[in-house]
């Protein structure tokens, strides 16, 4: 709940803020002025997220040279690039959350859980995970090639017999490399990586943010006490960050834990380990106080 200190200190009136938002949405120049108030409302979690980000980057840079001499498909090489992506997604989510863009940030949070599941899979069975990752890429490339070939067949592209022959050959080559046994869904990766207890958070994020579904669109409806609807809810949503920030930090924590296990080096990660424990402590205190209970994380 917002206090008087949480009220944005703007260079415009509330009416001007609303008008600017209706005209420019989150590109309104007044949105940046509201950031300090959003951050103050969730100061402890934003500060913790900043510390976790710094510790995660430090852990990555200490391991960056471990990929030297390895192939791009080596589990350590894959894990290193995955954690780069997870940290970038984390930073992007924080930028969005600072502006009260909860569903947009949640979409990036969801991608971090995907990465964590793959890292867990790599940790438990690196060779199987490597094969599955390559297999998934072959399926993706085959689907793209089939699409382009369909466009030629349907007349969307100018006829090009040579290119069409190349696409047919490409599809055949990729099809020969796809192995059914190596096809792994994100749910399978979570199970095989020993992280299935976090899959609920992933599904929660998927339903509310990443997919164009009735559930994800439902949040924009203004609901009356009698259950009817009266207009739409738009604009910054800082209240949702009470749930979003902990879920985001937990996801990155899991990904970092898996990465540091896969790419083991001499010395410990005392600072990072302490932050991960503190994440759990903060989440427990939040739930004990009656907040942040929409997922099992």
Check residue 227 and give its pLDDT. 78
The 10s digit of each residue's pLDDT in 27-70 is 998 899 989 999 999 999 999 999 999 999 999 999 999 999 99
User: Is the model's pLDDT at 1 over the cut of 70?
Assistant: no
Mean pLDDT over the full length of the chain: 91
The 10s digit of each residue's pLDDT in 244-265 is 999 999 999 999 999 999 999 8
User: Is the model's pLDDT at 71 over the cut of 80?
Assistant: yes
By C-alpha distance, which of 62, 116, 126 is closest to 297?
116
Q: How many CB atoms lie within 10 A of CB 151?
A: 12
Check residue 267 and give its pLDDT. 77
User: Is the model's pLDDT at 180 over the cut of 90?
Assistant: no
User: Is the model's pLDDT at 297 over the cut of 50?
Assistant: no
In which band, very low, low, confident or very high, does the pLDDT at 88 lie, cut at 50, 70 and 90?
very high
Check residue 5 and give its pLDDT. 58
The 10s digit of each residue's pLDDT in 211-237 is 788 878 887 888 888 878 888 878 889
Check residue 74 and give its pLDDT. 94
The 10s digit of each residue's pLDDT in 103-143 is 999 999 999 999 999 999 999 999 999 999 999 999 999 99
* Phi and psi angles of residue 41, each rounded to the nearest 5 degrees, phi first: -65, -30
Its pTM surpasses 0.85: yes
Only one residue has tokens 């949040």, namely: 219
């Amino acid at each position: 709940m917002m206090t008087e200190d949480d009220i944005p200190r703007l260079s415009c009136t509330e009416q001007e803020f609303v008008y600017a938002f209706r005209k420019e949405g989150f590109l309104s120049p007044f949105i940046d002025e509201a950031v300090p108030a959003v951050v103050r409302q969730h100061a402890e979690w934003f500060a913790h997220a900043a510390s976790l980000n710094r510790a995660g980057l430090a852990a990555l840079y200490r391991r960056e040279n471990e990929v030297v001499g390895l192939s791009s498909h080596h589990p350590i090489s894959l894990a290193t690039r995955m954690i780069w992506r997870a940290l970038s997604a984390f930073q992007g989510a924080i930028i969005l959350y600072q502006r009260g863009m909860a569903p947009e940030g949640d979409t990036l949070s969801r991608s971090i859980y995907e990465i964590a599941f793959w890292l867990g899979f790599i940790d438990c069975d690196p060779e199987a995970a490597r094969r599955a990752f390559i297999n998934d890429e072959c399926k993706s490339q085959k689907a793209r090639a089939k699409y382009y070939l369909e466009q030629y067949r349907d007349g969307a592209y100018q006829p090009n017999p040579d290119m069409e022959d190349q696409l047919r050959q490409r599809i055949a080559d990729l099809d020969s490399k796809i192995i059914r046994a190596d096809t792994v869904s994100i749910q399978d990766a979570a199970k095989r990586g020993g992280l299935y207890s976090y899959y609920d958070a992933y599904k929660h994020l998927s339903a509310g943010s990443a997919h164009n579904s009735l559930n994800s669109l439902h949040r924009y409806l203004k609901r009356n006490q009698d259950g009817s609807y009266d207009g739409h809810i738009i604009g910054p949503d800082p209240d949702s960050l009470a749930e979003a920030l902990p879920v985001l930090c937990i996801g990155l924590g899991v990904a970092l834990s898996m990465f540091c296990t896969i790419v083991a080096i001499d010395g410990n990660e005392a600072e990072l380990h302490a932050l991960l424990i503190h994440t759990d402590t903060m989440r427990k205190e939040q739930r004990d106080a009656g907040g942040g209970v929409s997922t099992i994380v």
